[in-house]
Structure 1
């Protein structure tokens, strides 16, 4: 009869003498200092890290007090760690000329890491429309993958066990509505040039959502039409462009015709530039003095006109 000794698993000496408390302590999350060179950005990170005034203030704070809130990272297969949250803190450390940053290392799958990354950044005060759009899209896709279960009675992928749809979960956790989340995600269909104009407030949010239904090649033609007419589409114009696209009539000529129209707001707007009015004032008048004088004259004219009507 063959011996089965080779199948016996022996407990190591360390395990024999370790306490339950020490084993639990090993499993607890710890804050460790990791070299900045070993910290890599999250794949498809939608939030921009910009060296603006706020970043310089953060760097100065880090230089004086250090990083007060540790970043969250996860181990990479290729070595080092992937930042889940803390991209701006890492950049602040670089500007402060630090070599390491405190982090919490977690073992996270792609979907869990994506949700934490999005949620930690959505708490910021100033978020660009493009950042919010791609963040919502990434989180929605992650929740859909987590909710895709073969044992659910509902066949629509993305429903969770509590009966909520994935988009409703994203909306609830963001303090938004389902419709608004879907409208933001529509912005990801814009070509980069148009999406940048939304971030720069050259194109308003509502028209941008309508323009997202244009085909990429049509969006490129729209850029050309906008440049020719030196105008951006209003909501009503964007809705007509969307309709033209659905009908297959969204040509450059049609776009130029729409973009050349005077908008309702422009019809009621009066613009007086300095070149037009400075000839009526002394050369040493400042723009503020000219404006104050014009307002005073208009008030006098209005008072006189009112008195005449009352007689």
Structure 2
């Protein structure tokens, strides 16, 4: 794994932004039409029009978007949102036509790692969301060249403060049938119990 990929694999949103500034990569925040935005492919995190979103919309109306999102240009036109799906939705609900963002060219693997790391520490994440996100990041890092299943799982969990063993447990949840995964999300069965039936599916 080269230095650039190692930084992206281990850093959170603030760390990534500060690192670019320290290295002289002066990124310009630009305002882009939200009509040109596209959802990150297979985005594992919900964007709910709930009470928290209402609070975000009120904040956006009063103060605007305080932290820019991160997007990357698509070959087919428009921009794929890497970080800022909830802010994007808040802009829509607030009636705003544009949103401040950082535009970055990056590989699919780099984009996946940043997308996961900028969402994984939210308090309202369901086990199924975390499971899918960890699997996406794990596969991205393996493709980047990370060696060893346990070592890669440790790196995946580092940004969220979780062990590699915990990451592996979450990833195994993605093999559950939908009914069992929903049961884990709704706390009908625990994660450990949810893993047990995998042998029989």
State the TM-score bracket (shorter-chain normalisation). 0.7 to 0.9
Partner of 1:159: 147
Q: Structure 1, unaligned stretches of length 5 or more?
A: 1-24, 148-157, 216-311
**Aligned 8 A contact 2:91 2:99 in 1:** yes
Matched position secondary structure for 1:101? strand
Which whole-Å deviations, capped at 9, do the CAs of 1:108-160 have from their partners, x for residues lacking one?
Answer: 1000000000000012122110111011101111111111xxxxxxxxxx318
Q: Structure 2, unaligned stretches of length 5 or more?
A: 1-23
Partner of 2:43: 45
Partner of 2:155: 169
Partner of 1:84: 82
**1:107 aligned onto 2:92:** no
Distance across 2 between alignment mates of 1:96 and 1:173:
31
**1:136 aligned onto 2:134:** yes
**1:191 aligned onto 2:177:** yes
**Aligned 8 A contact 2:151 2:164 in 1:** no
Which whole-Å deviations, capped at 9, do the CAs of 1:65-114 have from their partners, x for residues lacking one?
Answer: 11100000000011000000000110111111111111100001000000
Distance across 2 between alignment mates of 1:115 and 1:98:
28
Which whole-Å deviations, capped at 9, do the CAs of 1:51-74 have from their partners, x for residues lacking one?
Answer: 111111111111111110000000
Under a length normalisation based on structure 2, what TM-score does the superposition of the two structures give?
0.83
Bigger radius of gyration: 1
Q: How many residues were matched structurally?
A: 177
Distance across 1 between alignment mates of 2:192 and 2:121:
23
Instruction: Let me know the Cα RMSD of the aligned residues.
Output: 1.6
Which whole-Å deviations, capped at 9, do the CAs of 1:7-51 have from their partners, x for residues lacking one?
Answer: xxxxxxxxxxxxxxxxxx9x7321111111101100011111111
Partner of 2:194: 208
Distance across 2 between alignment mates of 1:184 and 1:211:
14
